[in-house]
């Protein structure tokens, strides 16, 4: 069993228990980091427009200031596809239809498993939400600095699915 942290792993400030994100959770009063103890499932979505993919610049740790696919944690009891679509709305203002699973992605020693989804029917105007400083659509061969190396793996798998399981040469 993992020992619960008493201090923020980012800035070493003592944690406080606060009502946040619909639950009582440990939060750093200094940097705002929310601490999750249990292994978590995160959901991310590949949103394409005119042969470019949507990326968001993060305002939170991990990866502050770097770019990632839109996504976030799945709440306990939440349908994973609904969480994925919710995260896109929260971070970008866009509404999407989830069309299928790209894959599950995990790393040895890392407590977060990522469920990546494909989408279609993007509706709305792209506006940066409170957890991102900006957003943009990028060519696959010209991605900005990424917060998570797994985003490249997700995009490779997504390209493979879009190409019928074949060519990933766009990377």
Could you give the residue numbers annotated as active site?
134
Element of type H or E holding 88:
helix 80-92
Kindly provide the b/e burial profile for residues 114-138, where b requires at least 16 CB atoms within 10 angstroms of the residue's own CB. bbbbbbeebeeebebbeebeebeee
Pairing label, strands 95-105, 112-123: antiparallel
Q: What is the DSSP string of 100-139?
A: EEEEEE--TT--EEEEEEEEEEEES-----TTEEEEEEE-
Cα angle: 26, vertex 71, 119; to 5 degrees: 155
Beta-bridged to residue 103, according to DSSP, are 116
């Amino acid at each position: 069993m993992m020992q619960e942290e008493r201090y923020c792993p980012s800035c070493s400030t003592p944690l406080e228990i606060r009502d946040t994100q619909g639950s009582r959770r440990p939060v750093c009063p200094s940097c705002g980091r929310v601490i999750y103890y249990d292994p978590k499932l995160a959901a991310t979505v590949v949103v394409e427009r005119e042969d470019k993919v949507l990326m968001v610049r993060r305002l939170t740790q991990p990866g502050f200031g770097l770019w990632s696919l839109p996504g976030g944690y799945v709440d306990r009891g939440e349908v994973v596809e609904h969480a994925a679509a919710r995260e896109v709305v929260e971070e970008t203002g866009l509404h999407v239809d989830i069309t299928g699973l790209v894959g599950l992605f995990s790393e040895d020693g890392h407590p977060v498993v990522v469920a990546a989804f494909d989408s279609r029917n993007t509706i709305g105007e792209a506006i940066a939400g409170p957890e991102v400083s900006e957003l943009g659509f990028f060519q696959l061969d010209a991605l900005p600095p990424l917060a998570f190396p797994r985003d490249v793996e997700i995009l490779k798998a997504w390209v493979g699915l879009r190409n019928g399981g074949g060519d990933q040469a766009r990377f």
